[in-house]
A and B are shown apart, each in its own frame.
Chain A
Amino acid sequence: MNDPSLLVLSSLAEGDKHGYAIMTDIEQFAGVRLGPGTLYGAITRLEERGMIRPVRTGDRRQPYAITPQGREVLREQLTALEKAVRTGLRRLRQA
Protein backbone atom coordinates (compact mmCIF):
# COMPACT_ATOMS: atom_id res chain seq x y z
CA MET A 1 0.00 0.00 0.00
CA ASN A 2 1.35 3.45 -0.86
CA ASP A 3 1.45 6.46 1.47
CA PRO A 4 -1.62 8.40 0.21
CA SER A 5 -3.80 5.30 0.69
CA LEU A 6 -2.43 4.82 4.22
CA LEU A 7 -3.10 8.46 5.05
CA VAL A 8 -6.68 8.27 3.71
CA LEU A 9 -7.39 5.10 5.73
CA SER A 10 -5.89 6.73 8.83
CA SER A 11 -8.15 9.74 8.33
CA LEU A 12 -11.27 7.62 7.87
CA ALA A 13 -10.41 5.47 10.92
CA GLU A 14 -11.67 8.42 12.97
CA GLY A 15 -15.04 8.61 11.16
CA ASP A 16 -16.75 9.20 7.82
CA LYS A 17 -15.44 12.14 5.78
CA HIS A 18 -15.82 13.62 2.31
CA GLY A 19 -12.87 14.50 0.04
CA TYR A 20 -12.09 18.00 1.30
CA ALA A 21 -12.49 16.92 4.95
CA ILE A 22 -10.02 14.06 4.34
CA MET A 23 -7.60 16.51 2.68
CA THR A 24 -7.66 19.01 5.58
CA ASP A 25 -7.52 16.25 8.22
CA ILE A 26 -4.40 14.73 6.63
CA GLU A 27 -2.84 18.17 6.41
CA GLN A 28 -3.41 18.63 10.15
CA PHE A 29 -2.24 15.25 11.48
CA ALA A 30 0.51 14.47 8.94
CA GLY A 31 1.56 17.92 7.69
CA VAL A 32 1.06 16.72 4.12
CA ARG A 33 -1.28 18.34 1.62
CA LEU A 34 -2.49 15.71 -0.85
CA GLY A 35 -3.35 17.18 -4.24
CA PRO A 36 -6.86 16.54 -5.59
CA GLY A 37 -5.57 14.05 -8.16
CA THR A 38 -3.52 12.11 -5.61
CA LEU A 39 -6.40 12.07 -3.11
CA TYR A 40 -8.94 10.78 -5.60
CA GLY A 41 -6.41 8.31 -7.04
CA ALA A 42 -6.11 6.84 -3.54
CA ILE A 43 -9.90 6.91 -2.99
CA THR A 44 -10.45 5.14 -6.34
CA ARG A 45 -7.96 2.37 -5.51
CA LEU A 46 -9.21 1.91 -1.94
CA GLU A 47 -12.82 1.64 -3.08
CA GLU A 48 -11.86 -0.84 -5.82
CA ARG A 49 -10.18 -3.04 -3.17
CA GLY A 50 -13.11 -2.78 -0.80
CA MET A 51 -11.20 -0.92 1.93
CA ILE A 52 -13.54 2.07 1.91
CA ARG A 53 -17.15 2.50 0.79
CA PRO A 54 -19.27 5.53 -0.13
CA VAL A 55 -21.84 6.59 2.44
CA ARG A 56 -25.31 7.41 1.12
CA THR A 57 -25.85 11.18 0.93
CA GLY A 58 -27.84 13.75 -1.00
CA ASP A 59 -24.88 16.13 -1.17
CA ARG A 60 -22.30 16.48 -4.00
CA ARG A 61 -19.67 16.03 -1.28
CA GLN A 62 -19.52 12.27 -1.11
CA PRO A 63 -18.51 10.93 2.33
CA TYR A 64 -16.57 7.68 2.67
CA ALA A 65 -16.37 5.14 5.47
CA ILE A 66 -13.60 2.67 6.21
CA THR A 67 -14.68 -0.99 5.90
CA PRO A 68 -13.68 -3.80 8.30
CA GLN A 69 -11.22 -5.00 5.66
CA GLY A 70 -9.78 -1.48 5.46
CA ARG A 71 -9.37 -1.37 9.25
CA GLU A 72 -7.58 -4.72 9.19
CA VAL A 73 -5.18 -3.61 6.43
CA LEU A 74 -4.56 -0.28 8.20
CA ARG A 75 -3.81 -2.08 11.48
CA GLU A 76 -1.32 -4.39 9.75
CA GLN A 77 0.38 -1.54 7.93
CA LEU A 78 0.64 0.71 10.99
CA THR A 79 1.93 -2.15 13.14
CA ALA A 80 4.67 -2.87 10.60
CA LEU A 81 5.44 0.84 10.39
CA GLU A 82 5.51 1.17 14.19
CA LYS A 83 7.99 -1.70 14.43
CA ALA A 84 10.22 -0.06 11.83
CA VAL A 85 9.99 3.31 13.63
CA ARG A 86 10.81 1.78 17.05
CA THR A 87 13.78 -0.10 15.62
CA GLY A 88 15.08 2.99 13.85
CA LEU A 89 14.76 5.18 16.95
CA ARG A 90 16.43 2.57 19.16
CA ARG A 91 19.36 2.29 16.78
CA LEU A 92 19.67 6.06 16.64
CA ARG A 93 19.89 6.20 20.46
CA GLN A 94 22.53 3.44 20.48
CA ALA A 95 24.70 5.10 17.84
Chain B
Amino acid sequence: MRRRLAALYPRWWRDRYRDEFEALLDDAPPRWTDGFDILKEALPMRVRSLNSWQIAGGCAVLGAMFALTGSYALPRRFVSSAVIQPVGDSLMGDRAIRVTRQVLSTGSLAPVIVRNGLYEEMRKSAPLEDVVSRMRKDIRIGSVLKSRGPAGGAMSLSFEYVDPAKARATVRDLSEQLAAQTGAHLIDGPNLPDQPVFPNRRTIAMAGVLAGALLGMAGARLARASSARKAT
Protein backbone atom coordinates (compact mmCIF):
# COMPACT_ATOMS: atom_id res chain seq x y z
CA MET B 1 0.00 0.00 0.00
CA ARG B 2 2.72 2.48 1.02
CA ARG B 3 4.76 1.49 -2.07
CA ARG B 4 1.74 2.12 -4.30
CA LEU B 5 1.27 5.57 -2.81
CA ALA B 6 4.88 6.37 -3.65
CA ALA B 7 3.81 6.24 -7.32
CA LEU B 8 1.94 9.51 -6.68
CA TYR B 9 5.23 11.41 -6.48
CA PRO B 10 6.24 13.16 -9.73
CA ARG B 11 8.53 11.29 -12.12
CA TRP B 12 11.65 13.39 -11.41
CA TRP B 13 11.28 12.60 -7.70
CA ARG B 14 10.77 8.86 -8.28
CA ASP B 15 13.79 8.72 -10.59
CA ARG B 16 15.91 10.31 -7.87
CA TYR B 17 14.55 8.95 -4.56
CA ARG B 18 12.37 5.88 -5.23
CA ASP B 19 14.93 3.16 -4.37
CA GLU B 20 16.03 4.71 -1.08
CA PHE B 21 12.44 5.65 -0.19
CA GLU B 22 11.38 2.02 -0.66
CA ALA B 23 14.37 0.92 1.45
CA LEU B 24 13.03 3.21 4.21
CA LEU B 25 9.54 1.71 3.85
CA ASP B 26 11.08 -1.78 4.14
CA ASP B 27 12.93 -0.81 7.35
CA ALA B 28 10.32 1.34 9.12
CA PRO B 29 7.46 -0.48 10.86
CA PRO B 30 4.21 0.55 9.13
CA ARG B 31 1.78 2.91 10.86
CA TRP B 32 -1.80 3.68 9.88
CA THR B 33 -0.88 7.35 9.42
CA ASP B 34 1.84 6.61 6.85
CA GLY B 35 -0.57 6.67 3.90
CA PHE B 36 -1.79 10.18 4.77
CA ASP B 37 1.77 11.27 5.46
CA ILE B 38 2.91 10.18 1.99
CA LEU B 39 -0.18 11.71 0.30
CA LYS B 40 0.38 15.01 2.13
CA GLU B 41 3.84 15.31 0.59
CA ALA B 42 3.37 13.60 -2.76
CA LEU B 43 0.23 15.39 -4.00
CA PRO B 44 1.47 19.00 -3.55
CA MET B 45 4.78 17.92 -5.12
CA ARG B 46 2.90 16.41 -8.05
CA VAL B 47 0.78 19.57 -8.46
CA ARG B 48 3.86 21.82 -8.26
CA SER B 49 5.47 19.80 -11.06
CA LEU B 50 2.58 20.71 -13.39
CA ASN B 51 2.40 24.06 -15.15
CA SER B 52 -0.51 26.44 -14.48
CA TRP B 53 -2.28 25.50 -17.73
CA GLN B 54 -2.17 21.79 -16.90
CA ILE B 55 -3.57 22.46 -13.43
CA ALA B 56 -6.27 24.77 -14.79
CA GLY B 57 -7.17 22.21 -17.48
CA GLY B 58 -7.47 19.35 -14.97
CA CYS B 59 -9.55 21.48 -12.62
CA ALA B 60 -11.78 22.61 -15.52
CA VAL B 61 -12.58 18.96 -16.34
CA LEU B 62 -13.26 18.23 -12.67
CA GLY B 63 -15.41 21.38 -12.42
CA ALA B 64 -17.51 20.30 -15.42
CA MET B 65 -17.96 16.81 -13.91
CA PHE B 66 -19.02 18.20 -10.51
CA ALA B 67 -21.39 20.72 -12.12
CA LEU B 68 -23.00 18.10 -14.36
CA THR B 69 -23.37 15.67 -11.46
CA GLY B 70 -24.92 18.44 -9.33
CA SER B 71 -27.31 19.40 -12.15
CA TYR B 72 -28.99 16.00 -11.86
CA ALA B 73 -30.07 16.95 -8.33
CA LEU B 74 -31.98 19.99 -9.67
CA PRO B 75 -35.68 19.54 -10.52
CA ARG B 76 -36.29 19.47 -14.28
CA ARG B 77 -38.81 21.91 -15.72
CA PHE B 78 -40.78 21.50 -18.94
CA VAL B 79 -42.69 23.98 -21.08
CA SER B 80 -45.84 23.07 -22.96
CA SER B 81 -47.21 25.57 -25.51
CA ALA B 82 -50.28 26.11 -27.61
CA VAL B 83 -51.28 28.59 -30.30
CA ILE B 84 -54.83 29.96 -30.34
CA GLN B 85 -56.43 31.47 -33.43
CA PRO B 86 -58.90 34.26 -32.62
CA VAL B 87 -62.13 34.89 -34.52
CA GLY B 88 -62.09 38.35 -36.08
CA ASP B 89 -60.76 40.93 -33.61
CA SER B 90 -61.67 38.91 -30.52
CA LEU B 91 -58.04 38.94 -29.34
CA MET B 92 -56.93 42.38 -30.49
CA GLY B 93 -55.98 45.51 -28.50
CA ASP B 94 -57.80 46.23 -25.25
CA ARG B 95 -59.87 43.10 -25.61
CA ALA B 96 -56.73 40.94 -25.63
CA ILE B 97 -55.51 42.63 -22.43
CA ARG B 98 -58.90 42.15 -20.79
CA VAL B 99 -59.05 38.48 -21.75
CA THR B 100 -55.47 37.89 -20.55
CA ARG B 101 -56.29 39.49 -17.17
CA GLN B 102 -59.36 37.31 -16.91
CA VAL B 103 -57.38 34.13 -17.63
CA LEU B 104 -54.70 35.09 -15.10
CA SER B 105 -57.18 36.05 -12.36
CA THR B 106 -57.31 34.11 -9.12
CA GLY B 107 -60.87 33.05 -9.88
CA SER B 108 -59.70 31.45 -13.12
CA LEU B 109 -56.36 29.96 -12.00
CA ALA B 110 -57.39 28.55 -8.60
CA PRO B 111 -59.71 25.90 -10.11
CA VAL B 112 -57.03 25.04 -12.71
CA ILE B 113 -54.51 24.45 -9.92
CA VAL B 114 -56.89 22.17 -8.04
CA ARG B 115 -58.14 20.32 -11.17
CA ASN B 116 -54.64 19.57 -12.41
CA GLY B 117 -53.04 18.85 -9.02
CA LEU B 118 -50.41 21.60 -9.43
CA TYR B 119 -47.94 22.84 -6.76
CA GLU B 120 -49.04 20.16 -4.30
CA GLU B 121 -46.10 20.71 -1.91
CA MET B 122 -46.56 24.49 -1.87
CA ARG B 123 -50.30 24.18 -1.30
CA LYS B 124 -49.63 22.30 1.95
CA SER B 125 -47.93 25.30 3.53
CA ALA B 126 -48.89 28.44 1.57
CA PRO B 127 -52.26 30.21 1.01
CA LEU B 128 -53.86 29.66 -2.38
CA GLU B 129 -53.28 33.30 -3.36
CA ASP B 130 -49.49 32.72 -3.08
CA VAL B 131 -49.77 29.58 -5.18
CA VAL B 132 -51.69 31.52 -7.83
CA SER B 133 -48.99 34.22 -7.84
CA ARG B 134 -46.38 31.52 -8.34
CA MET B 135 -48.37 30.04 -11.22
CA ARG B 136 -48.68 33.43 -12.95
CA LYS B 137 -44.86 33.53 -13.13
CA ASP B 138 -44.89 30.18 -14.92
CA ILE B 139 -47.44 31.25 -17.56
CA ARG B 140 -46.46 33.11 -20.74
CA ILE B 141 -49.03 34.70 -23.00
CA GLY B 142 -47.93 36.48 -26.15
CA SER B 143 -48.87 37.25 -29.70
CA VAL B 144 -47.60 35.27 -32.69
CA LEU B 145 -46.15 37.46 -35.42
CA LYS B 146 -48.04 37.70 -38.71
CA SER B 147 -44.90 36.58 -40.51
CA ARG B 148 -45.47 33.11 -39.12
CA GLY B 149 -47.93 32.28 -41.88
CA PRO B 150 -51.34 30.91 -41.04
CA ALA B 151 -50.82 31.54 -37.30
CA GLY B 152 -50.39 35.29 -37.92
CA GLY B 153 -52.35 37.39 -35.41
CA ALA B 154 -52.74 34.41 -33.09
CA MET B 155 -51.89 34.13 -29.42
CA SER B 156 -49.39 31.79 -27.85
CA LEU B 157 -49.88 30.37 -24.37
CA SER B 158 -47.27 28.37 -22.52
CA PHE B 159 -46.81 26.98 -19.04
CA GLU B 160 -43.61 25.83 -17.33
CA TYR B 161 -43.82 23.02 -14.77
CA VAL B 162 -41.86 20.08 -13.31
CA ASP B 163 -44.27 17.49 -14.75
CA PRO B 164 -44.55 17.58 -18.57
CA ALA B 165 -47.96 15.85 -18.61
CA LYS B 166 -49.39 18.32 -16.08
CA ALA B 167 -47.86 21.20 -18.06
CA ARG B 168 -49.72 20.04 -21.17
CA ALA B 169 -52.99 19.42 -19.30
CA THR B 170 -52.79 22.92 -17.80
CA VAL B 171 -52.18 24.59 -21.16
CA ARG B 172 -55.14 22.68 -22.60
CA ASP B 173 -57.30 23.78 -19.65
CA LEU B 174 -56.31 27.45 -20.02
CA SER B 175 -56.71 27.34 -23.81
CA GLU B 176 -60.22 25.96 -23.48
CA GLN B 177 -61.09 28.79 -21.07
CA LEU B 178 -59.71 31.29 -23.55
CA ALA B 179 -61.61 29.70 -26.41
CA ALA B 180 -64.84 29.66 -24.41
CA GLN B 181 -64.54 33.40 -23.68
CA THR B 182 -63.53 34.57 -27.16
CA GLY B 183 -64.68 31.93 -29.59
CA ALA B 184 -61.03 31.34 -30.56
CA HIS B 185 -59.84 27.83 -31.35
CA LEU B 186 -56.62 25.87 -30.87
CA ILE B 187 -54.53 25.62 -34.02
CA ASP B 188 -51.34 24.17 -32.52
CA GLY B 189 -50.60 22.14 -29.42
CA PRO B 190 -50.54 21.85 -26.57
CA ASN B 191 -47.45 19.72 -26.98
CA LEU B 192 -46.09 17.14 -24.56
CA PRO B 193 -42.52 18.38 -23.95
CA ASP B 194 -39.85 15.66 -23.98
CA GLN B 195 -36.85 17.91 -23.28
CA PRO B 196 -36.64 20.09 -20.14
CA VAL B 197 -35.95 23.82 -20.44
CA PHE B 198 -34.17 23.69 -17.05
CA PRO B 199 -31.55 22.77 -16.02
CA ASN B 200 -29.59 23.75 -19.12
CA ARG B 201 -26.75 21.23 -18.76
CA ARG B 202 -24.59 22.81 -21.45
CA THR B 203 -24.61 26.16 -19.60
CA ILE B 204 -24.04 24.43 -16.26
CA ALA B 205 -21.10 22.43 -17.69
CA MET B 206 -19.57 25.60 -19.12
CA ALA B 207 -19.96 27.33 -15.75
CA GLY B 208 -18.26 24.31 -14.13
CA VAL B 209 -15.38 24.49 -16.64
CA LEU B 210 -14.92 28.20 -15.96
CA ALA B 211 -15.15 27.88 -12.17
CA GLY B 212 -12.80 24.86 -12.21
CA ALA B 213 -10.24 26.64 -14.37
CA LEU B 214 -10.31 29.75 -12.15
CA LEU B 215 -10.04 27.69 -8.96
CA GLY B 216 -7.22 25.67 -10.53
CA MET B 217 -5.26 28.81 -11.39
CA ALA B 218 -5.83 30.19 -7.88
CA GLY B 219 -4.83 26.81 -6.36
CA ALA B 220 -1.65 26.72 -8.45
CA ARG B 221 -0.72 30.20 -7.22
CA LEU B 222 -1.41 29.21 -3.59
CA ALA B 223 0.65 26.01 -3.94
CA ARG B 224 3.56 28.01 -5.36
CA ALA B 225 3.26 30.60 -2.57
CA SER B 226 3.26 27.78 0.00
CA SER B 227 6.30 26.25 -1.69
CA ALA B 228 8.08 29.61 -1.59
CA ARG B 229 7.28 29.94 2.14
CA LYS B 230 8.76 26.51 2.82
CA ALA B 231 11.88 27.54 0.92
CA THR B 232 12.55 30.42 3.34
Contacts and interface: CB of A to CB of B under 8 A. Distances in A.
Interface of A: 1-2, 18-20, 23, 33, 35-41, 43-45, 49, 59-62
Contacts of A40: 17, 21, 24, 41
| Main secondary structure on A side of the interface with B | helix
Interface stretch (B28-36, B71-79, B93-101, B173-181): B28-36
Interface string B29-57: 00101101111111001000000000000
A18 B37 contact: no
A45 B230 contact: yes
A61 B21 CA distance: 8
| Main secondary structure on B side of the interface with A | helix
A44 B2 CA distance: 18
Nearest to B39: A37
Interface residues of B, number: 26
Given A36-B21, A49-B231, A62-B20, A20 B27 contact: yes
Contacts of B38: 35-37
Contacts of A36: 2, 21, 24-25, 28, 34, 37-38
Interface string B1-28: 0100000000001000101111111011
Contacts of B39: 37
A2 B227 CA distance: 12
Contacts of A38: 37, 40-41
Contact of A19 (B23, B31, B34): B23
Contacts of A45: 230-231
Nearest to A34: B37
A20 B31 CA distance: 14
Given A20-B27, A49-B231, A61-B23, 13 more contacts: A20-B23, A20-B24, A35-B37, A36-B24, A36-B37, A37-B41, A37-B42, A38-B37, A41-B45, A43-B17, A44-B13, A62-B19, A62-B20
A37 B37 contact: yes
Contacts of A37: 34, 37-42
B80 to A, nearest CB: 59
Contacts of A61: 20, 23-24, 27
